[in-house]
């Protein structure tokens, strides 16, 4: 996971990362904007999704408020090879072609962030 202060730095890094993906690569790359801290985060690899979810959760516990309001402060875009979007059309429903990487075809999709509540009881 890489954190950047400006969108330009983050997009440059993202563009270079997209160029390194192989045709049969199943890894995804996520570009996230954190409106709380005004930071841009790029995560990549097999665990990119859970990694950005963990980051959002960690930031929530640093400054707890309404979880759904907190989730709305993040914008997450997922990038994948266009071949994957054809292979798994329901997962990538609503994705668009990306203009970032020259030559290789990528698709971009805006992902939503959901909250999950849990309750636990302890006897003391």
Is 70 exceeded by the pLDDT of residue 27?
no
Distances (CA, A) of 66 to 48, 50, 56, 72, 117: 25, 21, 13, 10, 11
Share of the chain above pLDDT 70, in %: 88
What is the pLDDT, as a whole number, of residue 86?
75
Check residue 105 and give left, alpha or beta (phi > 0: left; psi -120 to 50: alpha): beta
Which of 22-26, 67-71, 84-88 is most confident? 67-71
CB distance 41 to 55 below 8 Å:
yes
Q: What is the pTM of this model?
A: 0.76
74-83: average pLDDT: 83
Residue of 41, 115, 35, 32 whose CA lies nearest to 77: 32
CB distance 36 to 28 below 8 Å:
no
What is the pLDDT, as a whole number, of residue 26?
61
């Amino acid at each position: 996971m890489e954190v950047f202060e400006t969108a330009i730095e983050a997009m440059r890094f993202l563009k270079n990362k997209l160029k390194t993906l192989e045709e049969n690569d199943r890894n995804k790359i996520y570009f996230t904007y954190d409106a709380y801290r005004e930071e841009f985060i790029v995560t990549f690899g097999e665990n990119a999704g859970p990694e950005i979810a963990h980051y959002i959760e960690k930031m929530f516990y640093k400054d707890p408020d309404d979880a759904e309001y907190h989730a709305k402060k993040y914008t997450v875009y997922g990038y994948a090879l266009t071949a994957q979007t054809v292979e798994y059309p329901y997962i990538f429903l609503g994705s668009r072609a990306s203009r970032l990487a020259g030559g290789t075809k990528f698709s971009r999709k805006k992902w939503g962030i959901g909250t999950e509540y849990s309750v636990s009881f302890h006897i003391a």
